[in-house]
Amino acid sequence: MRILLTDPILSRFTGELTRDGGDGHDWEFLAGRPDAEVVARLAGADVLVASRMTGPMAEAGAGLRLVHVTGAGLDRIPLDALAPGTTVCNTFHHGRSIAEHVVMVALMLSRRVLRADRLLRIGKWESVALDPAVPLGGTLAGRTLGLVGFGEIGRQVARAGSALGMRVRAVRRNPGTPLPDDLALTQVDGDDRLPELLADSDVVVLTVPLSPATKGLIGAEELAMMRPDALLVNVARGPLVDENALFEALVEEQLGGAALDVWWSHPKDGGGATGYTRPFHELENVVLTPHHSGHTRETFTGRAREIAGNIARLTAGQPLINVVRGTAAR
267 and 135 in a single domain? The answer is yes
263 and 122 in a single domain? The answer is yes
First to last CA, the chain: 23
What is the full DSSP assignment across 81-133? GS-TT-EEE-----HHHHHHHHHHHHHHHHTTHHHHHHHHHTT----TTT-TT
142 and 165 in a single domain? The answer is yes
304 and 158 in a single domain? The answer is no
The two counts, helices (H) then strands (E), for the chain are 10, 13
CATH code, 249: 3.40.50.720
pLDDT above 90 (res 3): yes
pLDDT digits (tens, 9 = 90+) for 244-292: 999 999 999 999 999 999 999 988 777 567 899 999 999 999 999 999 9
11 and 142 in a single domain? The answer is no
80 and 187 in a single domain? The answer is no
Distance set, CA 295 to CA 81, 99, 174, 199 (Å): 29, 12, 29, 31
Average pLDDT on 195-208 reads 98
pLDDT above 80 (res 23): no
How does residue 105 score in pLDDT terms, banded at 50, 70 and 90?
A: very high
Q: Please give the mean pLDDT across all residues of the chain.
A: 95
pLDDT digits (tens, 9 = 90+) for 141-167: 999 999 999 999 999 999 999 999 999
183 and 282 in a single domain? The answer is yes
> DSSP 3-state assignment of 12?
helix
Is there a domain that residue 311 lies in? yes
Do 291 and 81 touch, CB atoms closer than 8 A? no
68 and 212 in a single domain? The answer is no
Considering its fold, how many domains does the chain have in total? 2
Is there a domain that residue 173 lies in? yes
77 and 45 in a single domain? The answer is yes
44 and 164 in a single domain? The answer is no
CA distance 306 to 295: 16
The DSSP code for 170 is E
What's the pLDDT score for residue 330? 39
CA distance 46 to 87: 11
Which residues constitute the domain of residue 250? 95-288
Is there a domain that residue 39 lies in? yes
Cα 227–Cα 230–Cα 232 angle in degrees, nearest 5: 125
Is there a domain that residue 270 lies in? yes
Is there a domain that residue 216 lies in? yes
Report, in angstroms and rounded to the nearest whole number, the Rg of the chain calculated over CA atoms: 22
- The share of the chain scoring above pLDDT 70, in percent, equals 97
Is there a domain that residue 330 lies in? no
Is there a domain that residue 22 lies in? yes
162 and 213 in a single domain? The answer is yes
What's the pLDDT score for residue 269? 73
230 and 280 in a single domain? The answer is yes
Is there a domain that residue 126 lies in? yes
Do 230 and 253 touch, CB atoms closer than 8 A? no
